[in-house]
Structure 1
Amino acid sequence: MSDVQIGFAGIGILLTLIALRVPIGVCLIGVSFVGIWALVGERAAWGSLGVIPYSFAATWQLSSVPMFLMMGFLCYHAGLTKGMFDAARMWLSRLPGGLAIATVFGAAGFAAVTGSSVACAAAMGRIAVPEMMRHRYDASLATGTVAAAGTIGALIPPSILMILYGIIAEVPISSLFLGGVGAGLLTTFGYVAVIIIRAKINPELAPTLHEEVSLRDKIVALKETWPVILLMAGVFGGLFSGAFTPTEAGAVGASLAALIALLKGSLNWGSFRDALMETLLTSASLFIIAIGASMLTRFLAFSGAGDHLSDAVTAMGADPLLLLLAISLIYLVLGMFLEPIGAMLLTLPILLPIVDGAGFSLIWFGILLTKFLEIGMITPPIGLNVFVIKGVVGDLASTGTIFRGILWFLVADFFIVVAIIAFPQIVLYLPGLLS
């Protein structure tokens, strides 16, 4: 077999193992190791296995990942974000579908202190679903709203997906964060529009609340949002003013979250231990997958398969929109079966050279990629956020009911993606202000 044939054979074996539900990190490392051995020998394979994990994990920018994770888990376990939903509920409950709208805005606020879609969905599910069900909201609307709103967690910075993409694609993480703001806000208002339209068409889905809330109560509720506002101001104010780098922002955010929780009196040894353990477990799993993706990049470079694919696409003279459509379909299909980070790290070594060669902005593509991967989080048959919500609500709603509830949000996502493709400045305007 030629080197290129070995490369394509490795890709085929990799996809087969993933289809058999072998852990993706094991697949990436195992196939890459055997492939490098077949191409350049045993010593090179063992050398890659020794050097690549260290060289990747020792990347200074990567230290922000566990720090941002720690910030999010501290906020979650210390209850710093609950005030966001309560304030949104008081101010928005009179609107059609007001509690569902409050859930979306609460998720957007929670997204600003965690980079995880799953964490966002789980937190809002525990807070918002019982409240909506208590006010006789339709179960599919209540659960579907929370599952969809959770996807905002990876769009509004800080985003773990964006950090990893920025390191691999070698683009400024601060620019990705700014680009995510536009896409995140567009998604937020798109979901709000879906809720209002559905509630207007069928008021029984979301009965109007008749509780009287005074202006004083609303203002008091706003005061309870101070932990999140202070944390956002500290992290993003310092980041975008140049006081510290995106890498340092994670450490600042984790330290500030712990300090705020201590001042609020909501941080104890138990909650700190839980946040620390979840940070360690999540970071370890992310690093294993990312190291495997680095080894796959080395394997494809040795084989020439990646360059062969890129040259083939260029030779076809494919229309950029057709190329983008093909890439979109790849990520939408992968998103149905793989968790987002695995799907991204599996494909970037192959697709990044193609996207760059086609002349697309890598900042814009990174945000679009994040959006596609988050759509996969609520797409049947394995929409991870759907199963997270099912685990939170238990017998309150079936899995089928939750999937039924997210269908309208998937329609909104289609229009959001079209808007991002048709009007790239939605993503690129804020990053352009930095340059």
Structure 2
Amino acid sequence: MTGVELGLLALGGLLVLIALRMPIGVALLAVSFAGLWALMGWRVAWGALGVIPYQFAANWILSSVPMFLLLGFICYHTRLTQGLFDAARLWLSGLPGGLAIAAVFGASGFAAVSGSSVACSATMGRIAIPEMLKARYHPELATGTLAVAGTIGALIPPSIILILYGIIAQVPVTGLFLGGIAAGLITAAGYIIVILIRVKLDPSLAPSLDEKATFAEKLAALRETWPVILLVIGIFGGLFSGVFTPTEAGAVGAMLATIIAAFKRTLTLRAFTDSILETVTTTAALIIIGIGASLLTRFLALSGTGDWLSQAVLSMGAEPLVIITGIVLLYLLLGMFLEPIGAMLLTLPIVLPIIGETGFSLLWFGVLLCKLLEIGMITPPVGMNVFVIKSVVGNLVSTSAIFRGIFWFLVMDLALVVLFIAVPDLILFLPATFG
């Protein structure tokens, strides 16, 4: 059996293990180790298992992952973002679907201190959905809005997906963050357009609110957003001005969040310990997946499978636009069954060489990939954000109703993907200007 044949057999076995619901990190480790053993013997396999985990885990920028996770979990457990929705609600209540638009604004603000779409949906869902249902908003609009708004959490930095992509693809994380800001804000604007159009066409989806806030009340609500504003200025002001690196930014953000929560007296011992525990468990899971992906990359390189697959695609002579369309369809399909980071790390060893050979910017592709992976967070049958929102609303809204609620937002997402491919400068403008 040749190396390429062995590699293809291993990839097939990997897909089988994932289909059998084996954790993707364990599946990656098992298949890569077995493949190296079959290809080059047990000494090489054990040697790789001893060296590669250290090489991956010792990457300096990887230390920003637990810090940004800690920042997000502290903000989540101490409710530092409560004021975002309250302020947006008062200022935007006069617009059609004002509460839903306020939820998108709130999610965009929380995204700047979270890095996780699941945390974003869960946090803003607990705050905004009860308010919308009380205002007699249609349950599908209320829940669908929060499910999709959460996806902004992985686009606007700090984004764990973008950090890991930067490590794997050797792309500056600061540039990816700037591109993510552009894509995240455009996505938020797209969602707001969907809400405005739907409510204009069918006002029964979001009845007008009777409350009339005074200007003084609106200003008072804005003052309650200071924790997030201070965090954003502290983290991104220092990061993009060059005062500290992305790695240091995570630590600074976690420290600032802790201090602010203590000052507001919302930092309880339970909240802090829960934040630490969730940070440790999430980081451990991400590192295991990352180590497995690194082992798979080494195996595919030694067996020649990665180069063979890349050349097989390129030898078809397809235009770059056709190739990128195929890659988009691949990730949309994978997103229906796999969680985002697993899908990304599983495929990058094969996809990155193709992107490089076709002349696309790796920075642009990283942000586009993040957008594609987040679409997977709202598409059936997995749709993690949908099930997060379901856990928030309980029996008040059915899962099928939530999936129906995301339909028009999903159409907008697909339109935005086409837009990002047609006009790459929408993503590359900020990195080119400030990177």
Match of 2:277, as an amino acid? Answer: M
Q: 1 CA distance for matches of 2:148 and 2:424? A: 23
Number of residue pairs matched by the alignment: 435
| 3-state SS, counterpart of residue 359 of structure 1 | coil
1:259 aligns with 2:285: no
Match of 1:356, as an amino acid? Answer: G
Alpha-carbon distance, 1:381 to partner: 1.2
The match for 2:203 is: 203
Alpha-carbon distance, 1:221 to partner: 0.2
The match for 2:17 is: 17
Q: 2 CA distance for matches of 1:82 and 1:274? A: 19
1:416 aligns with 2:396: no
1:324 aligns with 2:341: no
Q: 2 CA distance for matches of 1:144 and 1:422? A: 27
Q: 2 CA distance for matches of 1:367 and 1:39? A: 35
Structural mapping, 1:109-258, within 5 Å: 109-258=109-258
Alpha-carbon distance, 1:312 to partner: 1.7
Q: 2 CA distance for matches of 1:268 and 1:383? A: 32
| 3-state SS, counterpart of residue 336 of structure 2 | helix
Structural mapping, 1:376-415, within 5 Å: 376-415=376-415
The match for 1:342 is: 342
The match for 2:38 is: 38
Alpha-carbon distance, 1:43 to partner: 0.4
Q: 1 CA distance for matches of 2:161 and 2:226? A: 27
Q: 2 CA distance for matches of 1:353 and 1:15? A: 21
**TM-score normalised by the chain length of structure 2:** 0.99
Q: 2 CA distance for matches of 1:159 and 1:184? A: 11
Alpha-carbon distance, 1:315 to partner: 2.0
1:276 aligns with 2:276: yes
Gaps of 5+ in 1: none
Q: Deviations over 1:51-85 (max 9, x none)?
A: 11111111111000000000000111111001000
Q: Deviations over 1:101-122 (max 9, x none)?
A: 0000000000000000000000
Q: Deviations over 1:155-183 (max 9, x none)?
A: 10110000000000000000000001111
Q: 2 CA distance for matches of 1:16 and 1:326? A: 22
Q: 2 CA distance for matches of 1:277 and 1:216? A: 41
Q: 2 CA distance for matches of 1:181 and 1:381? A: 29
Q: 2 CA distance for matches of 1:84 and 1:47? A: 51
Q: Deviations over 1:302-325 (max 9, x none)?
A: 110000111222222221011001
| 3-state SS, counterpart of residue 21 of structure 2 | coil
Alpha-carbon distance, 1:192 to partner: 0.3
The match for 1:83 is: 83
Alpha-carbon distance, 1:415 to partner: 1.2
The match for 1:298 is: 298
Percent identical among aligned pairs is 66
Q: Deviations over 1:4-50 (max 9, x none)?
A: 10011111110111111111011100000000001110001011111
Q: Deviations over 1:330-352 (max 9, x none)?
A: 10000000110000000001111
**TM-score normalised by the chain length of structure 1:** 0.99
| 3-state SS, counterpart of residue 337 of structure 1 | coil
Q: 2 CA distance for matches of 1:210 and 1:89? A: 12
The match for 2:353 is: 353
Q: 1 CA distance for matches of 2:310 and 2:416? A: 28
Q: 2 CA distance for matches of 1:356 and 1:212? A: 55
Q: 1 CA distance for matches of 2:414 and 2:313? A: 26
Q: 2 CA distance for matches of 1:427 and 1:151? A: 17
The match for 1:427 is: 427
Q: 2 CA distance for matches of 1:319 and 1:305? A: 23
- Structure 1 runs (4+) deviating above 6 angstroms are none
Alpha-carbon distance, 1:433 to partner: 1.4
The match for 1:51 is: 51
The match for 2:98 is: 98
